[in-house]
Chains A and B, each alone.
Chain A
Amino acid sequence: MRPPSHASRPPTLRLVVAGLAALALTACTAGKEAAPALGAQPEPSGSASLPPATLELWHGFSTPAETKAFEDAIAAFTRKFPQIKVTAKKGVQDDQITQAVRSGKAPDVAASFTTDNVAQWCKSGAFQDLAPVIRQDGIDLSVLPAASRSYTEFAGKRCTMPLLADAYGLYYNKDLMQGHEPPKTLSELTELTKKLTVRDADGTIKVAGFIPSFQYYENSPSHLGTMVGAKWYNDDGTSAIGSDPAWKQLLTWQKELVDWYGYDNLEKFRKGLGDEWSAEHPFFKGKVAMILDGEWRNAMIANDPEAKDMDYGTAPLPVADDKPELYGSGFTAGTVIGVPRGAKHPQHAWELVKHLTTDTDSLVTLSNSLRNVPTTKAAMEHPRLVKDANFQTFLDIFAHPGTSTLPANVNSVFNQEAFSAFLVSWEKGAVSDLDAGLKSVDKRIDDKWKLSGG
Chain B
Amino acid sequence: MASHVRAAPPRWRRGEGLRALLWLSPWLTGFTIFFAYPLASTVYFSFHRYDLFTLEFVGLDNYRYLFDDERVWLSARNTLWLVVFMVPAQVVFALALAQLVTRLKAGVGLFRTIFYLPSLVPLVAGTVAFVFLMNPATGPWNQLLALFGVTGPDWFGDPAWAKPSLTLLAMWGVGNLMVIFLAALLDVPRHLYEAAALDGAGPWRQFRSVTLPMISPVLMFSAITGVIYALQYFTQAMIASRVASGATDSAGTSFLPGYPDGALLTLPQHLFQTGFRDWSMGYASVLALMLFATSMVFTLILLRQFRRAEELT
Contacts and interface: CB of A to CB of B under 8 A. Distances in A.
Interface stretch (A78-86, A185-193, A413-421): A413-421
A359 B249 CA distance: 28
A444 B70 CA distance: 8
A276 B248 contact: yes
Interface stretch (A265-273, A307-315, A389-397): A265-273
A197 interface: no
Interface residues of A, number: 68
B4 interface: no
Interface stretch (B26-34, B171-179, B186-194, B305-313): B26-34
A387 B257 CA distance: 38
A150 interface: no
A406 B254 CA distance: 12
A23 interface: yes
A330 to B, nearest CB: 11
A215 interface: yes
A260 to B, nearest CB: 20
B157 A420 contact: no
A452 B154 contact: no
Interface stretch (B207-215, B217-225, B274-282): B274-282
B164 interface: no
B49 interface: yes
A71 interface: no
Contacts of A451: 49, 61-62, 65, 280, 283
Contact of B251 (A113, A270, A271): A113
Interface stretch (A9-17, A130-138, A173-181): A9-17
Contacts of A215: 245-246
Interface of A: 4, 9-10, 12-13, 16, 19-20, 23-24, 31, 95, 98, 101-102, 113-116, 120, 123-126, 166, 168, 215-218, 220, 222-223, 267-273, 275-277, 294, 331, 333-334, 405-406, 410-411, 413-414, 416-417, 420-421, 424-425, 428, 430, 443-444, 447-448, 451-453
Interface string B223-249: 000000000000000000000111011
Contact of A420 (B51, B70, B256): B256
B51 A272 contact: no
Nearest to B274: A414
B70 A218 contact: no
B52 interface: yes
Contacts of B53: 31, 101-102, 124-126
A12 B18 contact: yes
A309 B259 CA distance: 36
A410 B53 CA distance: 13
Interface of B: 14-15, 18-19, 21-22, 25, 28-29, 32-33, 37, 49, 51-54, 56, 61-62, 65, 68-70, 135-138, 154, 157, 244-246, 248-254, 256-262, 273, 276-280, 283
Contacts of A413: 254, 273, 277-278
A417 B28 contact: no
Contacts of A417: 254, 256-257, 273
Closest 9 CB pairs of A and B: A272-B137, A124-B53, A333-B251, A416-B254, A222-B252, A220-B253, A447-B68, A414-B278, A420-B256
Contact of B52 (A16, A102, A267, A270): A102
B157 A271 contact: yes
Contact of B32 (A20, A277, A333): A20
A218 B18 contact: no
B263 to A, nearest CB: 11
A273 B246 contact: yes
Contacts of A414: 277-278
A271 B246 contact: yes
